[in-house]
């Protein structure tokens, strides 16, 4: 029986939880500055400019760190995360 509210059920929900745990573990394994830039921009919603001001680095440094974080996450997740 499908969920009334559109939420995933059973196996789908378990797979989503396992994937979420794997992503969290991969993010936690990122080097500090790379992880901080990714979290600030992707999770906390700061623009690159805002993150650069927050960390007192050039905007290009934030862009490089986020790019590096995404590259490392793709490698850690076996290229399963196209939308990271």
List, for residues 17-53, the tens digit of each pLDDT value: 777 787 888 889 899 999 999 999 999 999 999 999 9
Q: In the predicted model, is pLDDT for residue 1 greater than 60?
A: no
Does the residue 3 lie in any domain?
Answer: no
Number of domains making up the chain: 1
Pull the structure tokens for residue 43. 């999770």
User: In which band, very low, low, confident or very high, does the pLDDT at 4 lie, cut at 50, 70 and 90?
Assistant: low
Q: What is the pLDDT of residue 8?
A: 63
Q: Is 77 helix (H, G, I), strand (E, B) or coil?
A: coil
Q: Which residues span the domain enclosing 76?
A: 32-84
Q: Is 70 helix (H, G, I), strand (E, B) or coil?
A: helix
Q: In the predicted model, is pLDDT for residue 13 greater than 90?
A: no
Q: What is the pLDDT of residue 14?
A: 80
Pull the structure tokens for residue 82. 């196209």
- pTM exceeding the 0.85 threshold for the entire prediction: no
Does the residue 55 lie in any domain?
Answer: yes
């Amino acid at each position: 029986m499908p969920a009334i509210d559109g939420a995933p059920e059973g196996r789908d929900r378990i797979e989503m939880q396992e994937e979420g745990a794997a992503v969290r573990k991969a993010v936690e394994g990122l080097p500090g500055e790379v992880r901080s830039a990714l979290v600030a921009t992707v999770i906390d919603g700061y623009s690159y400019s805002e993150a650069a001001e927050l960390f007192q680095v050039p905007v290009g440094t934030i862009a490089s760190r986020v790019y590096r974080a995404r590259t490392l996450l793709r490698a850690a997740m076996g290229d399963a995360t196209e939308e990271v």
